Amino acid sequence: MSYAPILAIVIIVILITLFILLLRKDRVDELRTKLIEDALWVEQNLFFQLRTHEENVERLAQEISKGQDPDVLLTRLQHVKDIHPELQIISWFDVQRDEPLTLPRGYNAQSPTNPLPRFKSWFPARKDDQLNEVLVDFQAPIFGANNQPTGLLRTSLSLNQLLTSQIPWWVAGQYEIVLVDNNSDRVIARRVNTALKTSELSYSMSVDPPLHGVRLQLKPYTSGSTSTQTLLIIVIVGLAIFAIISLLVQYYYARKRQQAEQALLDEQNFRRAMENSMTTGMRARDLNGRILYVNPAFCQLVGWKADEIIGLSPPMPWWPPDMVNETLDRHYQQNRMPTAQSFETRFQHRDGSILDIQVHEAPLINNQGRHMGWMGSIIDISSRKAQEERTSQQAEQLQKTAHLMSMGEVASTLAHELNQPLSAVASYAAGCLNLLEDGETISHDDLRSGLESLAAQNRRAGEIVRRTNDFVRKRDPLLKLEELRPIILDSLSFIHNELLKHKVRTTLDLPEANLYVMADRIMIEQVLFNLLRNALEALKNQPMDQRKIDINVQTRGQHALIAVSDQGPGVAADMVPLLFQPFSTNKTNGMGIGLNICRSIIELHRGTLWYETPATHGATFVFTLPLAKHD
Ligand code: ADP
């Protein structure tokens, strides 16, 4: 913000004020000079008038002395009085007459002193009660033949009239002119215009002689120019203050505006930065589907530039040709129900590639609360979808592998198991044949018993094959009411040989009452088989006395709780959270998917499978199955 204009205004105001003050001072000096000049002029004028009057009166007195006819003289006196309005009274005293001759007639003039004066003289101003005027008297002696005073001529001048008649109007218009008595300081005559005001200036000078103890005083009238100037200064200063205040206000608002603009700019930049860095595509469209706004992520997604996109109306170039109708339908549908919605669709990139897209759309509401279109966020979910696809394929593959693995295990178990009944069948058959070949009478019973045993072993072998077949065959789960005990025993029998081989003892702790569950028998057997096999593997390298697996079955509420515990090394703490995740194994030949599959199977049966660290050592895997009623 620049203060230069304010400074300029202040300087201008100071200069103008100085100028006016200088002007005023000049004017005062000028006025004073003029006042003195005019005062001198007035004084001179008065002086001259009074001297002229003096001469006139002396001349008249001389003329009287020479024996002028009194009537003619009176006429002359009257004439003099008429042309000099200030001349109020004329008195002629003569020793020959008792009464003086006076104009105006009947004026009671004061008698002259005795003896009569020989010299002319002026008297101090006096208040005359008869005429009610301040008068000043002048008298001149009249001499007789022997040069003795025989009378005198006295005139009385009105000082007010003197000022009125002897001071021209152009002077009187400029000054208040007064005569002041020096003794009493009282104004005794004045020429004043009361309508005008006087200034502080004044000038006075003595008019003595001829007027005893009187001074003339002039005061110029104010022209009004000083007050105009003061007013002017006040107005200028006021205007300057106003200008400064309005400038400051302007500055204040300009600054505010600047700040607001800066904030707006920052905000815009921030938004732009946000927009540009956003990985989610944003798109706004009006109710007709016309594009109002897209962000850079959207442009990148579809391969068109923002200025190519904005203003486009459906069908959009990124709609796959086979989806145009479907997309249009959805647009119309959406407008009918303006609520936020989310859907999946497909976009075709400009380069022709197809993208899987997740769209979240919300109604675009303007300031007046009117629904004016839609604001959508667009996410490319192609890679997620592909990943999902891959994972599901992988899981399927895994299932198959697991199954094959189990099959491998089962096959070896089968071989072991079949070995026994088959060799028994062979030996029973050989025994029976021997009996026949010996030629001895063989009892029916012996033969029957031999053949029965043979048939039994055969059945056993058949049973083993059937069970293995069931186990290996891939099929959908089939939940049936099953008793728990035979399932556990069957599972144990699968791994029986292995257990024997590694001298692992097993205990089975089951409640007295038969427990029934709704289960796919083969699947539960698969779970138990897995848990037993893991336990067995954990025990292989353990000391003989610790090679023990405990199977414990309990009921808890509406569930059967089956726990498989071993005395092995247990599961390392860092392995525990990973146990049920696929491919988490610490075995060289392990796949790490067994437990994962087991958990899926148990959850399919609405049960749960978890790992427990036993108080001592080893590992315990527990699963629950909802109990079923058997009637
Ligand atoms: P795999 O047996 O192929 O490794 P599993 O999912 O069945 O796959 O087991 C995952 C891992 O859990 C095993 O590698 C092993 O480290 C651990 N594990 C499972 N059961 C036990 C057990 N009873 N004792 C110790 N570790 C076990």
Query: Is the CB of residue 585 below 6 angstroms from any atom belonging to ligand 1?
Result: yes
Would you state the pLDDT for residue 111? 79
In a domain, 246, yes or no: no
351 CA distance to ligand 1 middle (Å): 49
In a domain, 236, yes or no: no
196 CA distance to ligand 1 middle (Å): 125
Distance, CA of 446 to chain centre? 107
Query: Is the CB of residue 555 below 6 angstroms from any atom belonging to ligand 1?
Result: no
Query: Is the CB of residue 614 below 6 angstroms from any atom belonging to ligand 1?
Result: no
How many CB atoms neighbour CB 430 within 10 A? 12
Domain shared by 375 and 284, yes or no: yes
Domain shared by 428 and 376, yes or no: no
Q: How many residues does the chain have?
A: 631
Domain shared by 359 and 439, yes or no: no
Residue nearest ligand 1's atom 12 by CA: 579
| Domain-ending residue, one of 343, 364, 380 | 380
Contact partners, residue 469, CB within 8 Å, separation at least 6: none
477 CA distance to ligand 1 middle (Å): 25
Q: For residue 330, give the nearest of 349, 357, 311 by alpha carbon.
A: 357
Domain shared by 194 and 55, yes or no: yes
Domain shared by 32 and 130, yes or no: yes
Domain shared by 45 and 164, yes or no: yes
Domain shared by 364 and 415, yes or no: no
| Domain extent at residue 615 | 479-631
**CATH code: domain of residue 509:** 3.30.565.10
In a domain, 232, yes or no: no
Query: Is the CB of residue 538 below 6 angstroms from any atom belonging to ligand 1?
Result: yes
Would you state the pLDDT for residue 225? 62
471 CA distance to ligand 1 middle (Å): 21
Please tell me the pTM assigned to this model: 0.40
Please give the single-letter amino acid code of residue 598: C
Instruction: Name the stretches of the chain with pLDDT < 70.
Output: 1-2, 223-226, 395, 397-417, 439-440, 467-477
Measure Cα distances from 188 to 180, 193, 211, 272, 473 in Å.
6, 16, 12, 95, 152
394 CA distance to ligand 1 middle (Å): 21
As a whole number of angstroms, the distance between CA 15 and CA 11 comes to 6
In a domain, 225, yes or no: no
Residue nearest ligand 1's atom 27 by CA: 571
Would you state the pLDDT for residue 622? 96
Domain shared by 20 and 141, yes or no: yes
In a domain, 252, yes or no: no
Residue nearest ligand 1's atom 21 by CA: 534
Distance, CA of 263 to chain centre? 9
As a whole number of angstroms, the distance between CA 85 and CA 106 comes to 19
Three-state SS letters, 166-200:
HCCHHHHCCEEEEEEECCCCCEEEEECCCCCCECC
Domain shared by 206 and 331, yes or no: no
Here the tokens at position 337 are 């129900």
Burial class (CB in 10 A: 0-12, 13-18, 19+), 136: buried
Query: Is the CB of residue 566 below 6 angstroms from any atom belonging to ligand 1?
Result: yes
Q: For residue 120, give the nearest of 140, 138, 136, 137 by alpha carbon.
A: 140
As a whole number of angstroms, the distance between CA 68 and CA 271 comes to 125
Measured at the CA of 544, the angle between CA 538 and CA 545, to 5 degrees, comes to 105
285 CA distance to ligand 1 middle (Å): 56
Query: Is the CB of residue 579 below 6 angstroms from any atom belonging to ligand 1?
Result: yes
In DSSP notation, 579-592 reads: TTSTT---STT--S
Would you state the pLDDT for residue 129? 83
The 3-state DSSP class for residue 542 equals coil
Would you state the pLDDT for residue 482? 93
As a whole number of angstroms, the distance between CA 623 and CA 596 comes to 13
Measure Cα distances from 447 to 354, 434, 453, 461 in Å.
78, 10, 10, 21
Q: Do the beta carbons of residue 215 and residue 204 sit within 8 Å?
A: yes
Overall domain count for the chain? 4
| Domain-ending residue, one of 324, 357, 380 | 380
Would you state the pLDDT for residue 463? 78
Q: For residue 592, give the nearest of 337, 398, 310 by alpha carbon.
A: 398
Domain shared by 506 and 597, yes or no: yes
Domain shared by 499 and 397, yes or no: no
In a domain, 272, yes or no: no
CA quadruple 590, 595, 600, 601: dihedral sign: positive
The 3-state DSSP class for residue 273 equals helix
Would you state the pLDDT for residue 412? 60
Residue of 534, 541, 542, 587 with the most ligand 1 atoms within 8 Å of its CB, for mutation: 534
In DSSP notation, 198-253 reads: B-S--EEEE-TTTSTTEEEEEEEBP-SHHHHHHHHHHHHHHHHHHHHHHHHHHHHH
Report the atom number in ligand 1 closest to the C-alpha of 534: 20
Domain shared by 212 and 284, yes or no: no
The 3-state DSSP class for residue 556 equals strand
In a domain, 535, yes or no: yes
Query: Is the CB of residue 117 below 6 angstroms from any atom belonging to ligand 1?
Result: no
**CATH code: domain of residue 192:** 3.30.450.20
Query: Is the CB of residue 535 below 6 angstroms from any atom belonging to ligand 1?
Result: yes
In a domain, 447, yes or no: yes
Residue nearest ligand 1's atom 19 by CA: 534
Element (H, E) at 315: none
Here the tokens at position 546 are 């610790």
Residue nearest ligand 1's atom 14 by CA: 585
CA quadruple 79, 83, 85, 86: dihedral sign: negative
Query: Is the CB of residue 590 below 6 angstroms from any atom belonging to ligand 1?
Result: yes
Q: Do the beta carbons of residue 90 and residue 77 sit within 8 Å?
A: yes
Q: Do the beta carbons of residue 110 and residue 93 sit within 8 Å?
A: no
Element (H, E) at 318: none
| Domain-ending residue, one of 364, 380, 396 | 380
How many CB atoms neighbour CB 528 within 10 A? 24
Please give the single-letter amino acid code of residue 369: G
